[in-house]
Amino acid sequence: MLGFNKPYLTGRELDYIRDAVEREKLSGNGFYTQQCQQFFTSRYGFKKTLLTQSCTDALEMAALLLDVGPEDEIILPSFTFVSTANAFALRGAKLIFADSEKETPNLDMNHVRQLITDKTKAVVAVHYAGVACDMDALMDLADKYRFFVVEDAAQAIDSYYKGKPLGSIGHLACFSFHETKNIISGEGGMLIINDEKFSQRAEVLWEKGTNRSAFFRGEVDKYNWIDIGSSFLPSEMTAAFLWAQLQEVDAIQKKRLTVWNHYFEGLQFQVKEGHFSLPIIPDYSTNNAHMFYLVSRSESERNAIMNHLKKQEIQAIFHYLPLHSSPYFHSKYSGRELFSAVRFSECILRLPFYTELSEEEIDRVIKSIHQFYNS
């Protein structure tokens, strides 16, 4: 079976994990945590970075920092992973689901504009497949209507919007280092704080609601419980693994772009025949080669392709099921039909994609897709 994903190892992960153990500081916010956080502030210009145990944790921290409560409305895409919504649902917020664009799975800013009310606390922009949302349009709306912007950049490491790193534009941003991402630590995530008014409190929430970090920097003579919070920071072993990955980010990105371009070029014939469409990268966005997908003409055709590939021992998958029609939320949803979100849910097929995917393996997938349509 040609699997859908395979974690990439640089070869230095165990060396750094061993070093972390020998430093005798395992519980987090040690040497490797600081190395990783400084890497992101230096390379991408993020104002403050905090490693977390997952992107889900980072999103939950964002909801806490914004003091989201039952009177608040949060606008977010229906076509996204459940963590995007769950972080705000846990605070009791009213979720307002927006449709995707017709051409990309990203937020339809025209629909977002229609959903804004005086109760809108934040809009969550999910950069699907590492391709940027229209951030100028969103930030203009945020300035006009005075709401916060959270970038769900789980898939968007090393991707840019008009030259600006994704994660550096919104008030807050969240990244993932799950094993399916470009840069991994097994599980893992990161919160970016671009608005300085959240900086000090973010560190407190991160450390279980205490000023422990300030204590260890010698800024206070004792640390105490001063706010709500949780144990969001990862262990030093996780950070050490991540550090090995970050040192190879350019090489990893180069390999992944080679895989992406091979797929894109090899499937052009079927696109010209009108059998399916391929990812669109707007002029304002770069492509970080997080995934490769095709958009079929119907759900039944997508499923038929997937089953054909399975018979050829090739694992392809689909996602997401629209959150507004999920078993948990469908009885609560009262908005318009979200046609594009439903269409992407029914028609997207993600092809095997990982850093070490060989040309022969990519050609095997492409050939199998050609065989499906030729038959």
The class (CATH top level) of 249-374 is alpha beta
pTM over 0.95: yes
Q: What is the pLDDT of residue 351?
A: 98
Q: What is the pLDDT of residue 194?
A: 97
**For residue 218, pLDDT beyond 90:** no
Q: What is the pLDDT of residue 213?
A: 84
Strand order in the sheet with 276-277: 276-277, 293-296, 348-350
- Rounded-to-integer distance, Cα 237 and Cα 48, Å: 21
User: DSSP of 304-346, one letter per residue?
Assistant: HHHHHHHHTTB--B--PPPGGGSTTTGGG--S---HHHHHHHH
- Rounded-to-integer distance, Cα 267 and Cα 273, Å: 10
Sequence spans of domains, the chain: 13-246, 249-374
- The pLDDT confidence band at residue 221, using thresholds 50, 70 and 90, is confident
In CATH, the number for domain 13-246 is 3.40.640.10
**For residue 269, pLDDT beyond 90:** yes
| In contact, 287 and 281? CB cutoff 8 Å | yes
Q: What is the 3-state secondary structure (H, E, C) of 107-161?
A: ECHHHHHHHCCCCEEEEEEECHHHCCCCHHHHHHHHHHHCCEEEEECCCCCCCEE
- Rounded-to-integer distance, Cα 159 and Cα 137, Å: 18
What share of the chain has pLDDT > 70, as a percent?
100
- Mean pLDDT in residue range 217-222: 84
**For residue 259, pLDDT beyond 90:** yes
Q: What is the pLDDT of residue 217?
A: 81
Residue 173 has which token pair?
A: 């941003």
- Rounded-to-integer distance, Cα 336 and Cα 270, Å: 34
Task: Count, in order, helices (H) and strands (E) of the chain.
Answer: 14, 12
Q: What is the pLDDT of residues 84-102, one digit of tens each?
A: 999 999 999 999 999 999 9
Q: What DSSP designation does 49 have?
A: E
Q: What is the pLDDT of residues 139-180, one digit of tens each?
A: 999 999 999 999 999 999 999 999 999 999 999 999 999 999
- The pLDDT confidence band at residue 216, using thresholds 50, 70 and 90, is confident
Nearest-CA neighbor of 182 among 333, 5, 355?
355
Helix, strand, or coil (residue 95): strand
What share of the chain has pLDDT > 90, as a percent?
95
**For residue 212, pLDDT beyond 90:** no
Q: What is the pLDDT of residues 324-360, one digit of tens each?
A: 999 999 999 999 999 999 999 999 999 999 999 999 9
Q: What is the pLDDT of residue 215?
A: 81
- Mean pLDDT in residue range 64-85: 98
**For residue 116, pLDDT beyond 90:** yes
Q: What is the pLDDT of residues 241-256, one digit of tens each?
A: 999 999 999 999 999 9
User: Residue 329, class by beta-carbon neighbours within 10 Å (0-12 exposed, 13-18 middle, 19+ buried)?
Assistant: middle
Task: Give the strand pairing for 73-77 and 94-98.
Answer: parallel
Mean pLDDT, the chain, integer: 97
- Mean pLDDT in residue range 40-64: 98
